Amino acid sequence: QASAGSPSPVPADKMPAPLLLAALLSPAALLPRAAAPAGNALSAQRRARLPSMAAGGAADAADDEKLAKALKAMTGFANSYCKNTGTTYCSDPSIPAVVIKGLAEHKVVLGAPLCPCRHYEDKAAEAKDGYWNCPCVPMRERHECHCMLFLTEENEFAGDSQKLSVEEVESHTESMGSVL
């Protein structure tokens, strides 16, 4: 139950997949910035979820560098794909930011940009199969993006932007931890 003066929660079946994913994995992502947990707690959470990052020390710096490189690559890819396909990002830039971050993390951990908005019994097998690697087959064939990353003009959530910077992606996802 929402308290007086607070917004009513959005039913899960009406929530866009990336927002639902963020809410399930890190409810703090939906809180105002001031109410979100401190960065150190979230860094520890991210390290605990990414297997190679749990060791700490020099591995952290190397893995952080890999993630930064993958985030830059996935942001560049998404910007180019929007432009090349005539699609746009969601009017709420936090939606594509969450998806891009998930794609980057999957690129580092799995070696492929597996869609972060779906549940998989075996992520490694799905990444190897390639069907759900971004851009997934439904997007390539029918311009249907389950993640709401690439939206056609008919989509009610489509915005005007075809470009996000790495800094924008980082600022929209800094309080959410890992999407894995």
Show which residues are catalytic: 117
Q: Which residues contact 72 (CB under 8 A, 6 or more apart)?
A: 166
Q: What sign has the CA pseudo-torsion 118, 138, 152, 80?
A: positive
> Using an 8 Å Cβ cutoff, are 152 and 5 in contact?
no
First to last CA, the chain: 28
Residue 132, both tokens: 């759900």
151: helix, strand or coil: strand
Q: Which residues contact 25 (CB under 8 A, 6 or more apart)?
A: 176, 177, 178, 179
Q: Which of 134, 168, 138 lies closest to 152, judged by CA?
A: 138
Residue 91 burial class via C-beta count within 10 angstroms: exposed 0-12, middle 13-18, buried 19 and up: middle
